[in-house]
């Protein structure tokens, strides 16, 4: 399907124009989500998109599915409740680095640990964009933010590694430059049964780029092109070379019991016991 037809099918016309700044990567990532959903062939009425608060979380309002624009950091508990009450639904969470890894950090690790069947697309623009350019747990050390005018001295999480360590069973990363890969990885994450994290490295030319002299939106995309390396090639780099790059592609995949399935088994066992 052409992009125009995809927009007609999956975007709420009444909610446009969107609020993202010119050159923002959020539209590219949201477009990739639409393409991935179409590729997998999800039923719009049986798909739920849940977001938290922030620039990227506005995506839930633009998308024509069952949607919840929830509270800051709380997309995952809301999504967990929806999935537990109606496990047949496909639940996709759109969130940002500030939303998912600071105020929502605790929810993030526990949703991953439970391996509940949610697909999380985390728009990583390395900053709190909407709330004023503060540094987030994913802002790289020595980078500037309104709350770190001399550069942050904190080390950032590698959220993909954190998700894996916490128990996620599908972890992938791409960028708003590597769009086809991003579509493929989101589609794989949707198909995967269990907690899937897709980290979408995206550009915020306004709140992050300006403060860190990253150049134009096109320069920021070129930065993504030059620093994202497919995992197989990344593994062949020396430790020193790896410091300058980051791996993209499917980073981790495994199988483990899925939470809502286990919950249903528990209910059935308890009912059988009660009937005796």
Answer yes or no whether residue 33 interacts with ligand SF4 by CB under 6 A.
no
Residue (of 250, 97, 95, 100) closest to 178 by Cα position: 250
Answer yes or no whether residue 121 interacts with ligand SF4 by CB under 6 A.
no
Answer yes or no whether residue 119 interacts with Mg ion by CB under 5 A.
no
Residue 34 zone, left/alpha/beta (φ > 0; ψ -120 to 50; rest): alpha
Answer yes or no whether residue 98 interacts with ligand SF4 by CB under 6 A.
no
One residue of 26, 47, 125, 174 binding Mg ion per CB under 5 A: 125
Q: How far is the CB of 230 from ligand SF4 (least distance, A)?
A: 26
Q: Quick check: helix, strand or coil at residue 113?
A: helix
User: Using CB atoms, what's the residue nearest to Mg ion?
Assistant: 96
Q: How far is the CB of 202 from ligand SF4 (least distance, A)?
A: 8
Answer yes or no whether residue 199 interacts with Mg ion by CB under 5 A.
no
Structure tokens at 88: 């047949």
Burial status of residue 213 (CB atoms within 10 A of its CB: 0-12, 13-18, 19 or more): exposed
The Cα–Cα gap between 160 and 124 comes to 11
Residue span binding Mg ion (CB under 5 A) among the ranges 109-117, 123-131, 154-162, 163-171: 123-131
Residue 211 sits at the vertex; the CA angle it makes with 209 and 217, to the nearest 5 degrees, is 15
One residue of 92, 182, 190, 206 binding ligand SF4 per CB under 6 A: 206
Q: How far is the CB of 183 from ligand SF4 (least distance, A)?
A: 20
One residue of 52, 96, 194, 217 binding Mg ion per CB under 5 A: 96
Q: How far is the CB of 132 from ligand SF4 (least distance, A)?
A: 9
Residue (of 115, 116, 50, 95) closest to 198 by Cα position: 95
Q: Are 94 and 33 in contact (CB under 8 A)?
A: yes
Structure tokens at 24: 């923002």
Q: How far is the CB of 100 from ligand SF4 (least distance, A)?
A: 14
Answer yes or no whether residue 220 interacts with ligand SF4 by CB under 6 A.
no
Residue 28 sits at the vertex; the CA angle it makes with 30 and 233, to the nearest 5 degrees, is 110
The Cα–Cα gap between 175 and 181 comes to 8
| Closer residue to ligand SF4, CB minimum distance, 20 or 170 | 20
One residue of 115, 124, 125, 212 binding ligand SF4 per CB under 6 A: 125
Contacts of 255 (CB under 8 A, 6+ apart): 169, 194
Q: How far is the CB of 26 from ligand SF4 (least distance, A)?
A: 5
Answer yes or no whether residue 207 interacts with ligand SF4 by CB under 6 A.
yes
The Cα–Cα gap between 227 and 37 comes to 27
Residue (of 245, 40, 249, 116) closest to 108 by Cα position: 116
| Closer residue to ligand SF4, CB minimum distance, 18 or 245 | 18
Interface positions with ligand SF4 (CB under 6 A): 20-21, 24, 26, 55, 125, 129-130, 204-207
> In the complex, which residues of this chain contact Mg ion (CB under 5 A)?
96-98, 125, 129
């Amino acid at each position: 399907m052409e992009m125009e037809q995809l927009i007609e099918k999956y975007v709420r016309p009444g909610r446009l124009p969107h609020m993202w700044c010119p050159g923002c990567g959020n539209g590219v990532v949201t477009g990739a989500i639409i393409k991935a959903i179409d590729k997998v062939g999800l039923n719009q009425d049986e798909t739920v998109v849940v977001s938290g608060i922030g620039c990227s979380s506005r995506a839930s309002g633009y998308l024509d599915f069952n949607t919840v624009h929830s509270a800051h950091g709380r997309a995952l508990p809301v999504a967990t409740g929806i999935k537990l009450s109606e496990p047949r639904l496909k639940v996709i969470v759109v969130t940002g680095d500030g939303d998912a890894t600071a105020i929502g950090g605790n929810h993030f690790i526990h949703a991953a640990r439970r391996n509940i069947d949610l697909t999380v697309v985390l728009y990583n623009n390395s900053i709190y964009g909407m709330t004023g350019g503060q540094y987030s747990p994913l802002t790289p050390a020595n980078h500037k933010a309104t709350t770190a005018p001399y550069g942050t001295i904190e080390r950032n999480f590698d959220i993909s590694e954190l998700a894996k360590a916490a128990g996620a069973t599908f972890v992938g990363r791409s960028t708003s430059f590597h769009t086809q890969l991003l579509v493929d990885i989101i589609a794989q994450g949707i198909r995967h049964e269990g907690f899937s994290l897709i980290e979408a490295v995206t550009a915020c030319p306004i709140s992050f780029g300006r403060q860190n002299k990253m150049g134009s939106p096109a320069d920021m995309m070129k930065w993504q092109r030059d620093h994202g390396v497919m995992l197989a090639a990344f593994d062949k780099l020396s430790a020193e070379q790896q410091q300058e790059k980051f791996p993209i592609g499917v980073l981790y995949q495994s199988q483990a019991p899925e939470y809502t399935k286990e919950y249903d088994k528990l209910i059935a066992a308890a009912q059988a016991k009660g009937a005796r």
